[in-house]
Structure 1
Amino acid sequence: MKSFDTVHNPSVVESGDTTRNNFDDDGREKRTGTMLTASAHIITAVVGSGVLSLAWSVAQLGWVAGIVILVTFAVINYYTSTMLADCYRSDTGTRNCTYMDVVRTYLGGWKVQLCGLAQYGCFIGITIGYTITASISLVAIGKTNCFHDKGHGAKCSVSNYPFMAAFGIVQTMLSQIPNFHKLSFLSIIATVMSFSYASIGIGLAIAVVASGKVGKTGATGTVVGLDVTASEKIWKAFQAAGDIAFSYSYSSILVEIQACILSFIDDTLRSSPPENKVMKKATLAGISTTTVFYVLCGCMGYAAFGNTAPGDFLTDFGFYEPFWLIDIANACIVLHLIAAYQVFAQPVFQFVESKCIKAWPEKNFITKEHSMNIPLLGKWRINFFRLVWRTAYVIMTTIVAVIFPFFNSMLGLIGAATFWPLTVYFPVEMHISQRKVQKYSMRWNALKLLVFVCLIVSLLAAIGSIVGLINNVRAYKPFHS
């Protein structure tokens, strides 16, 4: 195989003209992805547990600000994603296969480390958030059945700690699978499940609205003195913005989808037609589709529950019946998150493993593969370092989830911490560098203003989420149901 960093003629690269049948223009395995498959990966990455908190978020912000922020985040995400897609190829035509590679090519220096910190911090945070959400959904299934049998006023107490442990055990086993990218059905499962539970939630909300038994809504959301105090109104509004930002946490993984060398993507974008054009179309299709779902979930959920909308409208019992449909929705959430956890964990696994292999290539513990016969599975390749490291990672994320099992606050904090650097700052700065935008020109000033405004929004969202997290910790009784 040719070197990964071989430089080719840009015109040849863009056209995808290559003489090899099995390899692409830079010696990597030939890519076969299309706009359709890229759109599916985008939808899988975007539609996640964040959709469950959107009704609560709109309730904190109200009809006007809630819808405006939902749509604005979508527009900003699409706009900066097109910039990021253009940066996939360097000026010499070589492919940048990770987000850090792109930043290294166009910005360099300490910004590469900042990008890595933000991106992998985002991935780690998402896996923690998914552990919390999956356990909450499993608890909800138990409570739903209890309420159905004993009545809505019954004391149905179910601990989420055993479910967190069970989720961790499942992820430990899945994490040991070598060549995880061969399991292409994973993204299909995640996509189907995410659309299923989002659709069920929207349908249940529409049914409540149709029944006429709806909560009180307003242009500005929760009412000071009635629903919340003045300080709660401010902090919860900021936290809601963070939750919405989390729900659009897609840019962190855009380059990897486009390059598709990471293990969770199998059918990668082929180089003809040019990847940036295909990726822009896929991004438009993916973000448009998810935005429609988000607006429906947020608005219909708010219309149904009003200012008392629950933090998670499928697990906080805004709905009690039909209990079997709510069970199906929560089961879909769990199945989606089992798959989605690996989507975001695999880049972390591979990053650490590649660094360790490079640093200690002579260590058999790190590099050697052992073949073992496992009943029902046949021959299995075991690497002791992979076994220890990946197991430790899953244990770590599970422990953090046990310590801080706070759905909305965790989502808001992760969204606030990663939205600005990964979705706004780096794409804009690389666009300015790539297109050589003249300093202090009208376009340069407009782009810098966008970066500054989004920074302020992210900081406020982070503060709101931290305040919410502190309040949750104060009232939290560890190891109680």
Structure 2
Amino acid sequence: MTMGEDAVTRNNNQHLSIDMLPQGGSKCFDDDGRLKRTGTVWTASAHIITAVIGSGVLSLAWAIAQLGWIAGPAVMFLFSFVIYYTSSLLTDCYRSGDPVSGKRNYTYTDAVRSNLGGVKVKICGIIQYLNLFGVAIGYTIAASISMMAIKRSNCFHESGGDNPCHISSNPYMIIFGVTEILFSQIPDFDQIWWLSIVAAVMSFTYSSIGLGLGIAKVAETGSFKGSLTGISIGAVTETQKIWRSFQALGDIAFAYSYSIILIEIQDTIKSPPSEAKTMKKATLLSVAVTTLFYMLCGCMGYAAFGDLAPGNLLTGFGFYNPFWLLDIANAAIVIHLVGAYQVYCQPLFAFIEKSASERWSESKFITKEIKVPIPGFRPYKLNLFRLVWRSVFVVATTVISMLLPFFNDVVGILGAFGFWPLTVYFPVEMYIAQKKIPKWSTRWLCLQILSFACLVVSIAAAAGSIAGVALDLKVYKPFKTSY
């Protein structure tokens, strides 16, 4: 199916689902006339874990250090509960009407259009795609930090500790960008399942190493560092304590953020059973596994470093032995982020390409696919518009990353910006509309209270993270950052 035909399919879903009804139950086609979906609980879980256990896990020890032993784990557990609950509400919005045979919503924006409509569709689209763009920037920064850590580690040991090994982050961001240009040419979301599985394995690898090193450091010192209330006034000012605590909320929100691509992941799942039932299982499994890892990594990192917990957990262990283990962990982060970048960006790629093919359906540059023979494999379908637009996107995110290489603050802003509208507000509002929950009923009030509480958290997290970026910019020179 060419891109132009795919656009026609999307535009005429109802018409095709009637014309192709006999194929809906066939081995090749689903009820909407598209090729049979093959996703399972395991592939959906791999996509979610790849998206969730990203670079955000590395900032959790720092986040807990700002909040302390009581508030830190409590906030993390509350976030996990909210994410699971609102994600469960969102899974019910994949189909409009009947949960088994209702019209499919292929993207998050489609779900908002079906359930809420009006100006909210445009607001949702802008927030979602800006957030996806921001995540790509955050992941580019994180990958460059890990690549530099490997380089500095080897440089440090080769010089016997005499060379400070200051290096620029720019070449490493460019290397990551070139890699992403290549992987971005994978046409569709459902074709990157193997990349998600590799990335999920990598995320467990570096999280486990970080956890293991934290346990080893605690065993070495024989004590748990840290305090009940987090970093103390004196080490930082009262104002800094407040801003840092707010930023920590943003970091934790970012670490759990995946609702923006949930509908797109759900659209890869086969049925029966219903996609919502399978997705709820995948969500429960993924959030449980993620929370366990986050609690262990964040808490053990704080126990190992106390108030001095670094923004990136792995950099806190320095360049000492076992330096080879840290190199493996940092390499795993880079491989994971290559996959996570694609999991987040494919929905944005698909949206732009669908819009372009609908608007300029006669343009061969946009719709024509050139078959490129690959020995031993099926021919690759090269689309010139896809090649150019996706390459420009990756170049743009790479250049912005080189301009603003502040990992912790960027992570906090992204978490704050996307958490309330995409993870809480729209799922709650769509669920209320779909289930026709009466206004001012007990259930309606509880959902609105949840939404308002999360809005307050998002505003606080955004304020803290923006304050952090403002401080960074005072001493920063563009394109000249070295570590």
Distance in 1, Cα, partners of 2:281 & 2:412: 29
Q: Residue 36 of structure 1 aligns to which amino acid in structure 2?
A: W
Deviation at 1:443, TM superposition (A): 1.4
Aligned to 1:127: 136
Q: Residue 66 of structure 1 aligns to which amino acid in structure 2?
A: G
Structure 1: unaligned runs, 5 residues or longer: 261-268
Distance in 2, Cα, partners of 1:351 & 1:343: 14
Question: Given that residues 156 and 319 in structure 2 are in contact (C-alpha distance below 8 angstroms), is that contact kept between their aligned partners in structure 1?
Answer: no
Question: Given that residues 208 and 214 in structure 1 are in contact (C-alpha distance below 8 angstroms), is that contact kept between their aligned partners in structure 2?
Answer: no
Q: Deviations over 1:149-207 (max 9, x none)?
A: 44567512121111111111111122234456434321111011011000000000000
Distance in 2, Cα, partners of 1:276 & 1:248: 20
Q: Residue 164 of structure 1 aligns to which amino acid in structure 2?
A: M
Distance in 1, Cα, partners of 2:271 & 2:374: 39
Question: Given that residues 315 and 330 in structure 1 are in contact (C-alpha distance below 8 angstroms), is that contact kept between their aligned partners in structure 2?
Answer: no
Shift in alpha-carbon separation, 1:342–1:299, aligned structure 2, 3 A:
same
Deviation at 1:370, TM superposition (A): 2.9
Equivalent residues in 2 for 1:157-196, closer than 5 Å: 157-179=166-188, 181-196=190-205
Aligned to 1:88: 94
Structure 2: unaligned runs, 5 residues or longer: 2-8
Shift in alpha-carbon separation, 1:371–1:22, aligned structure 2, 3 A:
closer
Residue of structure 1 aligned with 2:34, choices 22, 28, 38: 28
Question: Given that residues 39 and 282 in structure 1 are in contact (C-alpha distance below 8 angstroms), is that contact kept between their aligned partners in structure 2?
Answer: yes
Between 1:160-169 and 1:269-278, the stretch displaced more is 269-278
Distance in 2, Cα, partners of 1:375 & 1:438: 61
Task: Give every structure 1 segment of 4 or more consecutive aligned residues whose post-TM-superposition deviation is greater than 6 Å.
Answer: 374-378
Distance in 2, Cα, partners of 1:180 & 1:69: 32
TM-score by length of 2: 0.92
Classify the secondary structure of the residue corresponding to 2:27. Answer: coil
Shift in alpha-carbon separation, 1:303–1:318, aligned structure 2, 3 A:
farther
Q: Residue 57 of structure 1 aligns to which amino acid in structure 2?
A: A
Q: Residue 96 of structure 1 aligns to which amino acid in structure 2?
A: N
Q: Deviations over 1:116-151 (max 9, x none)?
A: 112111211111111001100000001112333445
Aligned to 1:64: 70
Classify the secondary structure of the residue corresponding to 1:315. Answer: helix
Deviation at 1:391, TM superposition (A): 1.3
Aligned to 1:328: 328
In angstroms, what is the RMSD of aligned CA positions? 2.3
2:259 counterpart of 1:259: no
Shift in alpha-carbon separation, 1:377–1:280, aligned structure 2, 3 A:
closer
Q: Deviations over 1:420-450 (max 9, x none)?
A: 0111001111111112111111211111111
Question: Given that residues 189 and 343 in structure 2 are in contact (C-alpha distance below 8 angstroms), is that contact kept between their aligned partners in structure 1?
Answer: no
Classify the secondary structure of the residue corresponding to 2:236. Answer: coil
Distance in 2, Cα, partners of 1:281 & 1:242: 27
Classify the secondary structure of the residue corresponding to 2:303. Answer: helix
TM-score by length of 1: 0.92
Deviation at 1:50, TM superposition (A): 0.3
2:154 counterpart of 1:148: no
Distance in 1, Cα, partners of 2:470 & 2:75: 25
Shift in alpha-carbon separation, 1:153–1:58, aligned structure 2, 3 A:
farther
Q: Deviations over 1:299-342 (max 9, x none)?
A: 00000000000000113545632000000000000111112111
Distance in 2, Cα, partners of 1:90 & 1:454: 26
Distance in 2, Cα, partners of 1:64 & 1:148: 39
Q: Residue 400 of structure 1 aligns to which amino acid in structure 2?
A: I
Equivalent residues in 2 for 1:239-258, closer than 5 Å: 239-258=247-266
Question: Given that residues 218 and 224 in structure 2 are in contact (C-alpha distance below 8 angstroms), is that contact kept between their aligned partners in structure 1?
Answer: no
Between 1:321-330 and 1:35-44, the stretch displaced more is 35-44
Aligned to 1:264: none
Aligned to 1:437: 437
Aligned to 1:265: none
Question: Given that residues 43 and 197 in structure 2 are in contact (C-alpha distance below 8 angstroms), is that contact kept between their aligned partners in structure 1?
Answer: no
